[in-house]
Structure 1
Amino acid sequence: MYNIRTFQVIPSIPESLLRLKELAYNIYWFWNQDALDLFRRLDIELWEKTRHNPVLMLGTIKQETLEARSRDDGFLSHMERVLKRFDDYMANKTSWYKKQPVEKDITIAYFSAEYGMAECLPIYSGGLGVLSGDHLKSASDLGIPLVAVGLLYQQGYFRQYLNADGWQQEQYPENDFYNLPLTLMLNENGSPIIIEAGLPGRVLKAQIWKVQVGRVPLYLMDSNIPQNQNKWDRDITGQLYGGGTEMRICQEILLGIGGVRVLQALGIKPDVFHINEGHSAFLCLERMRMLIEEKGLTFLEAYEATMVSNIFTTHTPVPAGIDIFSLELMDKYFGNYYSRLKISRDDFLGLGRKDSGNHEEPFNMAVLALGLSGRANGVSRLHSEVSRKMWMSIYPDVPVQDIPISSLTNGIHNPSWISRDMAGLFDRYIGPRWRTEPIDQEIWDRGDNIPGEELWRTHERRRERLVAFARKRLRQQLERRGASRHELEQAEEVLDPEAFTIGFARRFATYKRATLILKDPLRLEKILSNKDRPVQIIIAGKAHPQDTAGKKFIQQIVHQARHEPFRNHIVFIEDYDMEVAHYMVTGSDIWLNTPRRPLEASGTSGMKAALNGCINVSTLDGWWCEGYERDTGWAIGCGENYDDHNYQDDIEASALYDLLEGEIIPLFYERGRSGMPHKWVNMMKNSMRKLIPRFNTNRMVSEYASRFYFPSADFSYRLREKDYDKARDLSAWKARIREHWYEIKVEHVHANTSAEIKVGKELNVQARIHLGALTPEDIKLDIYYGPLDIKAQIASGIAIPMDNVEELSKNVYLFSGFIPCMSSGRHGFVLRLLPYHEDLCNPYAMNLIMWI
């Protein structure tokens, strides 16, 4: 091998254009249309050729083009306008965060395995990554002091193409980091900053790259460096979700443990850590290790000091979707870590077990995250209910509705997903505040001011562009497969820019049922072949490389689309990515979503469609359970759950056909004299007015801040005071509670339940409790009451605290409370006794609960 010496060549940018480079290295350009137009104006052909990558564009543009633009007054004026807005934005003088009653400035660390921010930075696979990217963008818009951490994949996610038989194939092009909006982090000597993480018998090393997402920095670790002599180690950041289970544990060690060390190396001291899915949960262990070794805390003290500031968001509605590692792998990769936490092997492995006493149970990353986080949430109301039921075994004595997994529904970053045409319409009739204050309902109520004709013409233009894009991509697909001239000519005629267009694009997991609409070919033929009411379907999506069933779905669609009468009515667009998604959500008439309830945690593509006036048609799963109303779209079924999946598919496919034939298509083609479907346009307006202000990431991230980030930071501040004295005190208090908990005895409970109680009155409940060595300040006694179901159980309970009235004798106390009787019928109550401390973030985490 030759000793190759490397050097980098950069463009010679004229002085008047120098700040283009600054703009290119900030993803801000992606969601600022004027900045995007500036780069397109620089060289529109090169912009398309570089897949909308301004860094690569500046590195490959002809020098004479740069010189010409440097003398172009119109271009310079455009650039000056963009940079003025950019500078004002980055100054962050009037952000949402600055208006919040936060006593001290805080820093949030956000960890995710993938980020989808722009097409030119392909380090995402689907919804989780795009959501993470939208989270950072809205955090930037809101001015929230957040830093993000992830991995920089050499190959990113795969590029999809189909062979002649319609079977998915994968390509893994390598990312050229030096031609992407990435900056290598250097130390004062000009060398890359290197962090280390321990692996068996060696030390893994990684360098750090930064992506600037508006005001938010994203730090990405790259292990493909010469300092790692082991090829395995260099490949850890090779592919997103690549390799087997052992590669996955290495990636998650680097993400969680290495990620904490990245922040330490950069001098960043976060107050709160947000774990976006369980991939990064090892960060909880690393945070504790640092306090044990650097501050001399015990394991339990370190747990108290860190748990309150860890936030866990789960996106997984089924146990099979969670990373689980064998005991052999855990011993191999963490055998030296047990002693550093000063706990035994069994205690360590118990952190990742639903049953800590089952020594054969493998290590579960979601269990680890739930146990070491002060707050946890699902990503929609239904998903949170599913998650609480899924994790009941961790909280055996807690009613399912009280299991501490709350709900915080996902959203989308509106400026990133709205079409240029629709944005212009909003600017004219709603005003510019829709960009900065998307939560304000009053702004969206102004949507009624948009003339129906203009909204419809705007939407028709987007459909025309979708059809043109689909034809172009279809021709490229055929050319790559060596198709005949006749087939290429046919591709130019596929689809009708005026026909009713159904869009379906997402990951091809089998539960999403991409082929449900193909269930009855005869009924579908009848729908698609109606010449008076033409209908077409555009489909896109990738199956995981190991998901044979998902690949078969794609193949079935492609085969069906090749034959009459479906030819020209069904098109599959290969290589689904953010660009394809953008064309589809902005140009489809309805957005079809058919997940098998309740397996869709949230879903966000339908939110993007609604933003652009595309109406949702979906099973009642994920976010659509909250978004659906009769005037915002259509629901397939009524939210039923089925045990027999084949029967479910038959029923819901039939329901979908009924909706299309009986309601949706007739409404679309019900036209007035002007040719505009007035009732359809009214539904578009209702959908936009009701859904956009609720399902956006500005609402989502501000809710994370208000409900989770700010309270967690307050807890964290308190426990860190005076060199973690309060964390030590809380740990000692818990030890005392555990020692004396079972000394508590209930001597008597009284309530006059035999008397008639009228609506509006109160029922007094009293209890005499012997607390042993504990005091009333150590416990919280509640009346847990509610209406009874047919099994005489409290279906949905409400807790009312009882007051300590007096000390009757030594260690015996009288408690009293009142149940408000606000509705008639059979009701019941039970008393619930929990430990209480002002610094106790999660009272259920101690697994001490007494029902009386």
Structure 2
Amino acid sequence: MKPIKTFNVSPSIPEKLLPLKELAYNFRWTWNHATIELFRRLDSELWEKCFHNPVLMLGRIDQHLLQSMLDDEGFMSHLSGVYAHFQRYVSQDACWFPRVSGQDGKACIAYFSAEFGITECLSIFAGGLGVLAGDHLKSASDLGVPLVGVGLLYQEGYFHQYLNEAGWQQESYEENDFYNLPLLPEKKTDGTPYKVAIPFPGRTVSAQIWRASVGRIPLYLLDTNIPENNADDKKITYQLYGGDSEMRIKQEVVLGIGGFQTLDMLGIQPTVFHMNEGHSAFLSIELIRSLMKKYGLTFKEAQGIASAGLLLTSHTPVPAGHDYFPNDLMTKYFSQYAKDLGLDWREFMALGRKNPQDSTEPFCMTTLALRLSSYSNGVSKLHGKVTREMWKSIWPEVPEDEIPIRHVTNGVHIRSWISAEMNLLYDRYLGPRWQEEPGKKEIWEKAGGISGEELWRTHERRRERLVAFVRMRLRKRLEKLGASKRELEVAEEVLNPEILTIGFARRFATYKRATLILKDPERLTRLLNNSQKPVQIIFAGKAHPKDDEGKKLIQSIINLVRRDDFRRKIVFVEEYDMAVARYLVQGVDLWLNTPRRLMEASGTSGMKAAANGVLNMSILDGWWDEAYSPGVGWAIGRGEDYVDSTYQDQIEAEAIYDLLEEDIVPLFYERGVDNLPRKWVAQMKESIANLCYFFNTNRMVQEYSERFYIPVSRRYQQFLSNGLTEAKKLSAWKENIQKNWPKIMIESVTTGPLNDLTVDVQLAVQSVINLGNVTPDDVTVEIYSGKVDALGLIISPETTKMDAARSLGDGKYLFEGRCASCQKSGNYGLTVRVLPYHPLLSTPFLPGLISWSQPI
């Protein structure tokens, strides 16, 4: 029976305890151990039952217990201290960003993401992309970055995992109760909720706006499951990554277009639009449409302004991981939209195609974002290179290393991932500045002074807690399956809290090769069951519901565990989430990562482990490719590329066994008379000192701010100032350049004598170039030179600018310059190129606008 009216009931909290409610409704508690301990102190058992959700806990707590806390001086003192610290934090103005930006509060960054992983009780994320987004918001809060988050509020969120008796992954879904989460509906002054109306074909879809407070950062989340919508439209935000392509396009319309309209409705005027992956790329065309309508601009004029404020971060190193929509779906949802933009259908679809002329190519969200953004980046140094190679066809004839896709290496929000014990240890030995300035290398260098005995005992306690947690989880699983008393007793005996523990936890995609360490079971059993130096492995992770190959990997682990020689040494932990992740990264000794090289964009789980003193053993991919050095962990292989994946698996599995047998296990068990593994502990401190200062999101967000947010915000505001004069001039200039570029021809290139050249000589170069209707001020002419490889290609090139010496008439000009000096002997080559130039361009590499001479 459906109710005729609905209403929300709030818990009754004594006035003196009302600060608890304010603390509960701000996710800052997720990275403040004192606040977590405060809620746990109320009722530790209820805290666990409520899935670490303080709002739900306050609603369920016994009112008599709550009342009794008023007479508990210790608790009231604890509350007073935590609340005072919270108030100072949220009201503090003297943060990093205001000091460095000098923009007098004008900057505003809108950060769009399809998922946000802030903590386990808010299940609106699937994995690493969402957790990175959550950590991004937390560090933005710490740094005082004027940022707002925009996402979707999923009714079900991601699935819950359980395994059947055969070890096959099953999925179940639970609905999020928004009124019992740290969320509040955004309301107008009259108390009615804000709802945004999003244009859909033949109808309008409404979305209610909810707000999550992440420290100083507001996160706005859209919910379509409201009475105003029909049954199908209510389901748009029902399930994260659920449904077919049509559901996906509807979700991305709500995220991008609805998200943009939400900010406009709330009176928020961003100066930077940061797209965390291409899911939200429709915001770029909505921004253009909004500018056209507001200022009476053409599409090209509005595009020039919009692009100045758009930034894309791509996380996906494989083409299949990007969203593509077929022509019929795009026609259904955007045919009228294209007309509103003043574009014909071919022009509109070209925005999302690598090859604008290919009418059969589907519409790609990442291509749309790349074409309309002035700035883009990958998420590690190696991934930046992979991303440039993947999308190079958008910039034909531009050398791969000059394609304007940069990189900002990911990090983790350290305070969200370290244990309370590790937090205290850092406070004691590094001083309080490590919390405020975790990107300072000199602070982390003090890790060498941490007491080895204290560090080891702290880590041993976390391993003990991990083992106890895994046993509890395993027992619960067996109870659900109706296990025998003997099987339950065995569950209490799995793992040993005193031996070398390896952790592997991530999404069970085949390219991550979770079972690589299991490839040779007989060699593995000798390692695990060594009577003097035993080893154990803990696995955790979910396979995508539609990924049967990933599910087979999980099943193979379960089957292996049933062998007597592995039963107590290998465990798979069900329902991998942020709570499980914290236990693992805080408690294992060695973190294992085995992706196929070039298929892991960054990876952050190893960073979380490193912050807890855990050592890494990984393929040289993603973050580890730039993080690894001898002494901070171990590298599997040397970054080799393989054609035969079967052969690759064999070689790299053997490398894992070799490292364990020859280096890692002996080092762990090399003990002094006090049973302290001094060399292992020294390597823990080396890892902390050399990795934590860089691989954290405070450093990452500072880098985004300095390289993108601050200059992008200034450029966007510049374009919107003075009646849009500069923006219109740039648009007119671009139109003229694009119209006349095909007429530009490099007619000749001549040099001085090429015989008997010696090191450090700068070769004189002249070039006659027909610019047609373009002037020398509109272009940059460069000598592109370097050593020539066996294929006749210029490698490690250098560029030097050529100057227009004189006009030769009829649009022809003589350009002169000198080739960069050759530092070493060998075979060199050069060519000349022409690029567009305008002082307001963010990059000279515009798609299709580059002209080359032939190599000499």
Alpha-carbon displacement from aligned partner over 1:33-71 (angstroms, at most 9, x marks no partner): 111111111221211111111111111111111211122
- Residue matched to 2:510: 510
Partner-residue secondary structure (3-state), 1:89:
helix
Deviation, structure 1 residue 244: 1.0
Partner-residue secondary structure (3-state), 1:831:
strand
- Residue matched to 2:383: 383
Deviation, structure 1 residue 810: 6.5
Assess if the C-alpha contact under 8 Å between 1:380 and 1:601 holds in 2. Answer: yes
- Residue matched to 2:13: 13
- Residue matched to 2:780: 780
Deviation, structure 1 residue 101: 4.0
Assess if the C-alpha contact under 8 Å between 2:746 and 2:852 holds in 1. Answer: no
Deviation, structure 1 residue 612: 0.6
Provide the rounded CA distance (Å) in 2 between the counterparts of 1:827 and 1:355: 33
Assess if the C-alpha contact under 8 Å between 2:745 and 2:851 holds in 1. Answer: no
Provide the rounded CA distance (Å) in 2 between the counterparts of 1:380 and 1:442: 23
Assess if the C-alpha contact under 8 Å between 2:396 and 2:847 holds in 1. Answer: no
Provide the rounded CA distance (Å) in 2 between the counterparts of 1:418 and 1:2: 46
Partner-residue secondary structure (3-state), 2:794:
coil
- Residue matched to 2:349: 349
Alpha-carbon displacement from aligned partner over 1:271-318 (angstroms, at most 9, x marks no partner): 010010111001011111112223211111111010111100111111
Q: Counterparts of 1:421-432 in structure 2 under 5 Å? A: 421-432=421-432
Provide the rounded CA distance (Å) in 1 between the counterparts of 2:796 and 2:440: 32
- Residue matched to 1:142: 143
Q: Which amino acid aligns with 2:830?
A: F
Q: Which amino acid aligns with 2:837?
A: Y
Matched, 1:193 2:159: no
Partner-residue secondary structure (3-state), 1:795:
strand
Alpha-carbon displacement from aligned partner over 1:660-687 (angstroms, at most 9, x marks no partner): 1111111111111111111111111111
Provide the rounded CA distance (Å) in 2 between the counterparts of 1:97 and 1:817: 42
Deviation, structure 1 residue 189: 2.5
Partner-residue secondary structure (3-state), 2:617:
strand
Provide the rounded CA distance (Å) in 2 between the counterparts of 1:145 and 1:823: 49
Provide the rounded CA distance (Å) in 2 between the counterparts of 1:753 and 1:256: 58
Assess if the C-alpha contact under 8 Å between 1:392 and 1:400 holds in 2. Answer: yes
Deviation, structure 1 residue 729: 1.5
Matched, 1:106 2:107: yes
Provide the rounded CA distance (Å) in 1 between the counterparts of 2:395 and 2:31: 43
Deviation, structure 1 residue 3: 4.2
- Residue matched to 1:161: 162
Deviation, structure 1 residue 377: 0.6
Assess if the C-alpha contact under 8 Å between 2:395 and 2:847 holds in 1. Answer: no
Q: Counterparts of 1:397-476 in structure 2 under 5 Å? A: 397-476=397-476
Provide the rounded CA distance (Å) in 2 between the counterparts of 1:147 and 1:800: 42
Assess if the C-alpha contact under 8 Å between 2:101 and 2:710 holds in 1. Answer: no
Matched, 1:707 2:691: no
Q: Counterparts of 1:767-846 in structure 2 under 5 Å? A: 767-807=767-807, 811-818=811-818, 819-846=820-847
- Residue matched to 1:266: 266
Provide the rounded CA distance (Å) in 2 between the counterparts of 1:745 and 1:658: 59
Q: Identity over the aligned pairs, expressed in percent?
A: 56
- Residue matched to 2:500: 500
Assess if the C-alpha contact under 8 Å between 1:206 and 1:222 holds in 2. Answer: yes
Provide the rounded CA distance (Å) in 1 between the counterparts of 2:264 and 2:735: 32
Q: 1:695 to 1:3 in 2, by over 3 A?
A: closer
Provide the rounded CA distance (Å) in 2 between the counterparts of 1:32 and 1:846: 47
Deviation, structure 1 residue 93: 2.2
Deviation, structure 1 residue 821: 2.8
Matched, 1:592 2:596: no
- Residue matched to 2:622: 622
Alpha-carbon displacement from aligned partner over 1:82-127 (angstroms, at most 9, x marks no partner): 1221122112322110220433420000000000001111111100
Q: Counterparts of 1:309-708 in structure 2 under 5 Å? A: 309-708=309-708
Deviation, structure 1 residue 624: 0.5
Partner-residue secondary structure (3-state), 2:559:
helix
Alpha-carbon displacement from aligned partner over 1:153-186 (angstroms, at most 9, x marks no partner): 0001111010111111111010000000000011
Length, aligned pairs only: 851
- Residue matched to 2:765: 765
Deviation, structure 1 residue 649: 0.9
- Residue matched to 1:79: 79
Q: Which amino acid aligns with 1:396?
A: P
Partner-residue secondary structure (3-state), 1:623:
helix
Deviation, structure 1 residue 419: 1.0
Q: Which amino acid aligns with 1:494?
A: V
Alpha-carbon displacement from aligned partner over 1:686-725 (angstroms, at most 9, x marks no partner): 1111110110001111111111111111221121123323
Q: Counterparts of 1:203-218 in structure 2 under 5 Å? A: 203-218=204-219
Alpha-carbon displacement from aligned partner over 1:744-799 (angstroms, at most 9, x marks no partner): 34354333251444434433333333333222211111222222222221122222
Assess if the C-alpha contact under 8 Å between 1:595 and 1:621 holds in 2. Answer: yes
Alpha-carbon displacement from aligned partner over 1:474-507 (angstroms, at most 9, x marks no partner): 1111111111111111111110000110000000
Assess if the C-alpha contact under 8 Å between 2:394 and 2:847 holds in 1. Answer: no
Provide the rounded CA distance (Å) in 2 between the counterparts of 1:405 and 1:485: 59
Assess if the C-alpha contact under 8 Å between 1:108 and 1:147 holds in 2. Answer: yes
Q: Which amino acid aligns with 1:743?
A: K
Q: Which amino acid aligns with 1:848?
A: L
Assess if the C-alpha contact under 8 Å between 1:148 and 1:219 holds in 2. Answer: yes
Q: Which amino acid aligns with 1:365?
A: M
Deviation, structure 1 residue 653: 0.7
Provide the rounded CA distance (Å) in 2 between the counterparts of 1:755 and 1:690: 49
Provide the rounded CA distance (Å) in 1 between the counterparts of 2:785 and 2:753: 13
Provide the rounded CA distance (Å) in 2 between the counterparts of 1:93 and 1:763: 56
Q: Which amino acid aligns with 1:393?
A: S
Alpha-carbon displacement from aligned partner over 1:638-672 (angstroms, at most 9, x marks no partner): 11122211111111111111111111111111111
Q: Which amino acid aligns with 1:412?
A: V
- Residue matched to 1:720: 720
Matched, 1:181 2:182: yes
Unaligned runs of at least 5 residues, structure 1:
none
Partner-residue secondary structure (3-state), 1:843:
coil
Assess if the C-alpha contact under 8 Å between 1:502 and 1:588 holds in 2. Answer: yes
Partner-residue secondary structure (3-state), 2:446:
helix
Assess if the C-alpha contact under 8 Å between 2:322 and 2:364 holds in 1. Answer: yes
- Residue matched to 2:119: 118
- What RMSD, in angstroms, separates the aligned Cα atoms of the two structures? 1.4
Assess if the C-alpha contact under 8 Å between 2:125 and 2:240 holds in 1. Answer: yes
Deviation, structure 1 residue 807: 4.2
- Residue matched to 2:224: 223
Unaligned runs of at least 5 residues, structure 2:
none
Deviation, structure 1 residue 637: 1.0
Provide the rounded CA distance (Å) in 1 between the counterparts of 2:761 and 2:145: 47
Provide the rounded CA distance (Å) in 1 between the counterparts of 2:741 and 2:655: 55
Provide the rounded CA distance (Å) in 1 between the counterparts of 2:817 and 2:89: 53
Moved over 6 A (4+): none
Deviation, structure 1 residue 618: 0.7
Partner-residue secondary structure (3-state), 1:263:
helix
Q: 1:72 to 1:200 in 2, by over 3 A?
A: same
Deviation, structure 1 residue 809: 5.1
Q: 1:233 to 1:101 in 2, by over 3 A?
A: closer
TM-score by length of 2: 0.98
Assess if the C-alpha contact under 8 Å between 1:763 and 1:821 holds in 2. Answer: no
Deviates more, 1:109-118 or 1:284-293: 284-293
Assess if the C-alpha contact under 8 Å between 1:783 and 1:830 holds in 2. Answer: yes
Assess if the C-alpha contact under 8 Å between 1:371 and 1:845 holds in 2. Answer: no
Q: 1:662 to 1:342 in 2, by over 3 A?
A: same
Deviation, structure 1 residue 846: 4.0
Provide the rounded CA distance (Å) in 2 between the counterparts of 1:402 and 1:430: 41
Alpha-carbon displacement from aligned partner over 1:510-540 (angstroms, at most 9, x marks no partner): 1001111111111111111111111100000
Provide the rounded CA distance (Å) in 1 between the counterparts of 2:802 and 2:371: 29
Deviation, structure 1 residue 369: 0.8
Provide the rounded CA distance (Å) in 2 between the counterparts of 1:12 and 1:258: 36
Provide the rounded CA distance (Å) in 1 between the counterparts of 2:682 and 2:279: 43
- Residue matched to 1:848: 849
